[in-house]
Structure 1
Amino acid sequence: MAIVEFLNTPAGARRRFSVKSPADFTPLGEYECADADDIARALAKARAAQRKWAEVPVAERAKAMLKVRDQILKAQDEIVAVVIRETGKCLAEALGMEVYSTLDSMSYYSRRAEKVMKPRRVPLHGPMALMKKVTLVPRPLGVIGVITPWNGPFVLSMGYTVQALLAGNAVLLKGSEVTPASTLMVEKVFRDGGFPDGLLQVVTGDGLTGAALVESGVDKISFTGSTATGRKIGEMCGRLLIPCALELGGTDAMIVCDDADVDHAAAGALMGSCMNAGQVCIGTQRILATPGIYDALTERVAAQCRTLRQGAAFGAEEDVGPIIMDRQLTIVERHVEDAIAKGARLLAGGRRNPNLPGLYFEPTVLADCTADMLVMREETFGPVVAIRKVADEEEALAVANDSPNGLAGNVWSRNERKAFDLACRMETGSVSVNDMALTYGLQEAPFGGRKASGIGRGNGADGLLNYCHMMPVVANRFGNAKPSGAYPYTAKHVDGLRKAIKFFWGSALGRYFQ
């Protein structure tokens, strides 16, 4: 059963769609798709609001953001309820991923915004240092288009939106058509928190709405989603000559060395593969274990996997929710069937849960996986633990890097020096040692992918600057000095340049001054 269905609408009317719960197919509501005219009106409103907002002191912007944070704290039960209705997440993940992470991010960036956005002097070198001074001034880009997916509909919408707003921009936010109410909750908490009108506006709709947003004249696009859609958006932004940040899919590898703590590694493998029902871009997809630990790891993972609980009561004692999107469930099934057909051993799960009405797929363990299996080559995005035996750590590293993607990864060993060295050699955006999928939740760590997992970065200590133009302002060091060059050119100018070149790069004393 389709989660999103487009409705028959009269010619000339806005397209409409309905949404159902992936947990039990309960109808959740109907929504309109914003068109190009709707987005143009929203953009005009955003530009007017942004011009005023850019002149508000950063400290005052931060105070306004902290009021929104406090509103989220008050409304956390409502937010969790909306997210669970649309995604079926278990309570612990809805509260932890969507609310806790959002509050942490808002506090971190609000408390540090004034320092990060402060203009700073840059020391010059050479003779110009005697005459000029340079100050780098972060200036907002204008209006940012933020496009987010369905697997973390509140937290992923809030993260880059908060950074863009604190940097002095306005935001037009377009969430997935699978989770429109969760995205509209973002707009609601900003409104209820007293945030200035027009600075954050949500537009609902599908891919056509997203394309219209990219084409609308915004000053940057921040997109989180699939690699296929990211390529299209990147091509559009290139044609329009606007910057973009693309956080795309991953086939993240977990390297487990012989000397790893097998219990810890098994717990990490299961959590990395099954949290949020496997629908996490930095979750673990390919587990590469060396011979001395392979059998023990496989047995422990399978035993623990069989204890995971699924249910639709959304209480505190459920572990794995449903697949959020019906098309995604088809991909998960295809990957598991392909692996079994090619010789993988099925140790747990492997099917839709027959005892639940929605899009629940049983947590699954596949052993003896090989390179030709889809589960080892493409993003599965489901609760599937796929384990492959490798000859040694060097082969594990080679296999981990043999992927078109490079978003995240993790390495497990009691020898932290060795684990660190392996981690540094992984061709991926970020790596955790003896843990998994930590990077996005650490605000200080820049986040983004390599290869086909994206371009650009988000988060990080200087995350706000990703939404700024760093403008150098050059001025005289000493009052009303003459310009550094003036017409007409003469032989004296040319002779002076030759002498300067000879002194600064042709003599030991000159090179010292450089």
Structure 2
Amino acid sequence: MPDVAQITVAPARIAELTALIRATGTETRTTVTPLTGADVATIPVSTEQDVLDAFEAARVAQRGWARTPLRRRTKALLKLHDLILTHQRELLDLVQLESGKARSHAFDEVLHTALTGRYYGRRLSRILGPHRRAGAYPLITGIRQYHQPKGVVGLISPWNYPLSMALVDGLAAVAAGNAVVHKPDSQAPLTALAIIELMHRAGFPRDLWQVVSGAGSVIGSTIIDHADYICFTGSTATGKRIAAQCSERLIGCSLELGGKNPMVVLPGADVEKAVEGTVNAAFSSAGQLCVSIERIYVHDSIYEQYRDALAERLARVSYGANADWEVEMGTLVSPAQLATIEKHVADALDHGASLVSGGRARPDIAPWFHEPTVLENVPESALCFAEETFGPLVSLYPYRSVGEAVAMANDTVYGLNASVWGPVKQARKVAPKIKAGTVNVNEGFAATFGSIGAPMGGMKESGTGRRQGAEGLLRFTEVQSVAVQRVMPVGGPAAVPKRTFAAAITVGLLLLRRFTRKA
């Protein structure tokens, strides 16, 4: 198998990338790769003044960018699409180096970012308008709806998808005419910096996207205090604090937060396909994915068949911490993530759960690697019954009726993603009954995640707002209605008595109601 030594970034290249961070102080921090635990880069840390300077520069750039014709923004978006695909080798190396995920899962991020640039590049004018709307009086009142940019968007992105989550939200923000002040996660800044450099090559102004570095607890509040809108991906606990701080300033925010995502395997499902789907749905990026499946409900008529087939398939999963495209699961990102899954597994077993597959850390593969693990008979008292693990751990539960399965799937404070496996006609009836922002039929998460035209986001404590689709762009705008009144005022001609005008309007409305078609 290819050696991890294939995944490297030259020191000179690291210096080029870190120079994009706005940081004037002397404080630094060192990042490490989960592939080996070795040091990767020395990252400068931004001061509070650096953050303020970033906002000042971003505001200047945004004013010019907001006046830029949509056709120029479109050209830059489509150019970025091409650059991402042609520079994917470096992007793949950086994603793996900073996150530890398998090569094929790193490619998911490359594909997602390229498709996002293509989607908005092809639809920008159509979505942003302006659009005509029905006026108070036909022909007399003309209405146009505009979408004005918010201003400067504060973007706080996570470590688990260092390329995709660093770009796709901010790219929609700048496409809508905003500037961005971005704090990538301290574990994975290089990937974000590489994609931002490609944005410069694509034609986006250099000052339009400012990057600052540091702990969220230190500079995150400063970002929220000065942004016109906040976009955050991370934990529900942190998201609640951000929402509270945003509310004090009456600014909007979009938050993609935690999940305890269910899969329902219906009677009549193809067990072999459902098992293969489970490997992707639950163990892509080592389960460190907000939409990853952690709870699986299987009809009791096929429960044992599914359980045994899943255990057999996981015994053949290809592990690795290298550039081999055939590796099916990479490593966890940090000792903290490893500690969480070990805690959840041990706690569940202590409370009476049974181990179906996996259950062990594997430092022989990578320092923080953990086998994909399946449990059954998990009681409600176990931590992993309701808490998000965010790692390669799933629990199996049999059910008797589909109604019971839906009720169990919905018995959570979260509502991010769900998966339903079975005959399509039956599965399509079940899917809308699950309270989740995205539901995939005969797929784990990739069908909705990869469909850039489809909105993606959470219900309940899984967040607010949507990325992707028109909604993912319009959240970064303020809706403005501009009316032009012709012939007479809305209140009627001055020469016509008010009572007469009211009677005429009443007759007109009744006639319109009778003779116009339903909308």
**TM-score, with structure 1 as normaliser:** 0.90
Q: State which of 147, 151, 157 in structure 2 corresponds to 1:148.
A: 157
Conserved? CA contact 2:103–2:322, under 8 Å = no
Q: Take 2:55 and 2:37, find their aligned partners in 1: how far apart are those partners?
A: 35
CA separation of 1:206 and 1:475: change in aligned 2, threshold 3 A:
same
What residue in structure 2 maps to residue 209 of structure 1? Answer: 219
> Is the deviation greater in 84-93 or in 222-231?
84-93
Aligned mates of 1:334, 1:398 — CA distance in 2: 28
Matches within 5 A, 1:8-47: 15-47=27-59
Query: Are residues 1:120 and 2:126 paired?
Result: no
The residue that corresponds to 2:442 in the other structure is 434
Tell me the distance in 2 between the aligned counterparts of 1:170 and 1:65. Answer: 15
Q: Secondary structure at the match of 1:263?
A: helix
3-state DSSP of counterpart to 1:61: helix
SS at match of 1:93: helix
Q: Does 1:400 align with 2:409?
A: yes
One of 484, 490, 494 as aligned partner of 1:484:
490
In structure 2, the CA distance between the partners of 1:428 and 1:384, relative to structure 1 (3 Å rule), is same
| Alignment of structure 1 residues 58-207 onto 2, 5 Å | 58-95=70-107, 97-124=108-135, 128-207=137-216
SS at structure 2 position matched to 1:446: coil
1: CA distance between counterparts of 2:380 and 2:343?
16
Match of residue 391 from structure 1:
400
Cα–Cα, structure 1 residues 357 and 266, in superposed 2: closer, same or farther, change >3 Å?
Answer: closer
Aligned-pair identity in percent equals 35
Q: Deviations over 1:162-219 (max 9, x none)?
A: 1111111111111111111122222222223342121112111111222221112x21
Distance 1:90 1:441 in 2: 18
SS in 2 for 1:318: coil
Provide the secondary structure at the position in 2 that maps to 1:447: coil
**1:364 maps to which of 350, 373, 382:** 373
- What is the aligned partner in structure 2 of residue 51 from structure 1? 63
Aligned residues: 491
Opposite residue 74 of structure 2, the aligned amino acid is A
AA paired with 1:304?
A: R
Report if aligned partners of 1:252, 1:406 keep a CA contact under 8 Å in 2.
yes
SS at match of 1:292: coil
Q: Which amino acid aligns with 1:338?
A: D
Instruction: Tell me the CA shift for residue 70 of structure 1.
Output: 2.6
The within-5 A match list for 1:247-262 is 247-262=256-271
Matches within 5 A, 1:333-344: 333-344=342-353
Asked if the contact 2:76–2:203 (Cα under 8 Å) also holds between the matched residues in 1, the reply is: yes
Unaligned regions of 5+ residues in structure 2, if any?
Answer: 1-23
Q: Show CA shifts across 1:432-454 (max 9, x none).
A: 11111021211111011000000
Q: Is the 8 A contact 2:35 2:322 kept in 1?
A: no
Q: Which runs of 5+ in 1 are unaligned?
A: 1-11
Opposite residue 311 of structure 1, the aligned amino acid is G
The answer to whether the 8 Å contact 2:25/2:47 transfers is no
| CA-CA distance at 1:269 after TM superposition | 1.5
User: Match for 2:219: what amino acid?
Assistant: T
Aligned partners of 1:245, 1:260: CA distance in 2, in Å? Answer: 36
Distance 2:265 2:153 in 1: 41
CA distance in 2: counterparts of 1:424 and 1:98, whole angstroms: 27
1:116-160 per-residue CA deviation (whole Å, 9 max, x = no partner) reads 2221111236xx335201111122111111111010011111111
- The aligned runs of 1:222-261 (5 Å cut-off) are 222-261=231-270
Cα distance, 1:259–1:486 mapped onto 2, change above 3 Å: closer
SS in 1 for 2:379: coil
Contact 2:263/2:419 (8 A) holds in 1: yes
Q: 1:347, 1:229 → 2: CA distance? A: 33
Query: Over residues 388-425 of structure 1, what are the superposed CA-to-partner deviations in whole Å (9 max), with x where a residue is unaligned?
Result: 112221111000000000001011112x2221111111
Q: Note if contact 1:350-1:362 (Cα within 8 Å) is conserved in structure 2.
A: yes
Counterpart CA distance in 1 for 2:100 and 2:513 is: 66
Instruction: Select between 53-62 and 323-332 the one with higher mean Cα deviation.
Output: 323-332
Q: Which moved more, 1:218-227 or 1:32-41?
A: 32-41
Amino acid at match of 2:275: A
Moved more, 221-230 or 325-334: 325-334
Structure 1 vs Structure 2 CA RMSD? 2.2
In the TM superposition, what is the alpha-carbon distance from 1:375 to its structure 2 partner?
1.9
Aligned-pair distance for 1:86?
A: 1.1
- Which residue does the alignment assign to 2:3? none
Are the equivalent residues in 2 in contact too, given 1:251–1:376 (CA < 8 A)? no
- Name the counterpart of 1:425: 433
One-letter amino acid of the counterpart of residue 37, structure 1: Q
* Counterpart in the other structure of 1:499: 503
Partner of 2:5: none
* Counterpart residue identity of residue 88, structure 2: Q
Secondary structure of residue in 1 paired with 2:302 = helix
1:498–1:463 Cα change, 3 Å: same
User: Which residue identity lines up with residue 115 of structure 1 in the other structure?
Assistant: R
Match of 1:9 in 2: none
Q: After TM superposition, give the deviation of residue 316 of structure 1 in Å.
A: 2.0
Q: TM-score, normalised by structure 2?
A: 0.90
In structure 2, C-alpha distance between the alignment counterparts of 1:386 and 1:268, rounded to whole Å: 15
Q: Is the 8 A contact 1:172 1:203 kept in 2?
A: yes
Give the 3-state SS of the residue equivalent to 2:123 in structure 1: helix
Question: Hey, what does 2:320 align to over in structure 1?
Answer: 311
Q: Which moved more, 1:198-207 or 1:450-459?
A: 198-207
Once the 2 structures are TM-superposed, how far is the Cα of residue 270 of structure 1 from its aligned partner? 1.9
The residue aligned with 2:474 is 465
SS of residue in 2 equivalent to 1:409: strand
How far apart are the structure 2 equivalents of 1:164 and 1:421? 35
Alpha-carbon distance in structure 2 between the residues aligned to 1:354 and 1:80: 23
Partner amino acid, structure 1, of 2:128 = M
Aligned mates of 1:78, 1:448 — CA distance in 2? 29
Secondary structure of the corresponding residue to residue 355 of structure 1: coil
- TM-superposed CA distance for 1:367, in Å, is 2.1
C-alpha displacement of 1:504: 6.7
Distance 2:261 2:310 in 1: 18
